[in-house]
Amino acid sequence: LYRRGNGQGRKYRGRMNGWSFGEAQRQIEYKARWVGLPGIRLSRRETRATSITCPRCGERLQSDKRLTRKLWCGKCRIVMDRDRVAGINLAWRGRVRFARSRPPITEAQGGADEAMKGNPTPMVIPGVDAPKLTQPTKS
């Protein structure tokens, strides 16, 4: 759709082709805030080579002309979709970074206070829950 030679400029094509990635990032950040997790943004350096690195052994994955979206590892002998490989690697890198930035939870602190009975305040995310809470309800 948005390809070179379609009569659109480079900047316009970049905006149109990059929209879904921005929307996906926005949704992930929203859902992380919903469950009380801080958002983690990985830099370009941290996301480099995520779709060509084997998630099991770390070797460079190889492509096959017969399998257009699939990559395979010569060491592990696994075949995976390149988007799935990137997702697994990004999740792993995010977890590694998250573990460094968050203090460990002790048993005394607990870990799931939102799920406990008697929690008096509901979690409100501005821009999503605010209209529901401010409009009067008809009874």
Return the domain boundaries, the chain.
1-39, 42-102
Q: Rounded distance, CA 49 to CA 55, Å?
A: 11
Tens digit of each residue's pLDDT (9 = 90 or more) over 75-118? 999 899 988 999 899 888 877 776 766 565 555 555 554 555 56
Nearest to 96 by CA among 50, 27, 136: 50
Bigger pLDDT: 106 vs 73: 73
Three-state DSSP class for 76?
A: coil
Q: What's the pLDDT score for residue 66?
A: 81
Q: What's the pLDDT score for residue 133?
A: 46
* This prediction's pTM: 0.49
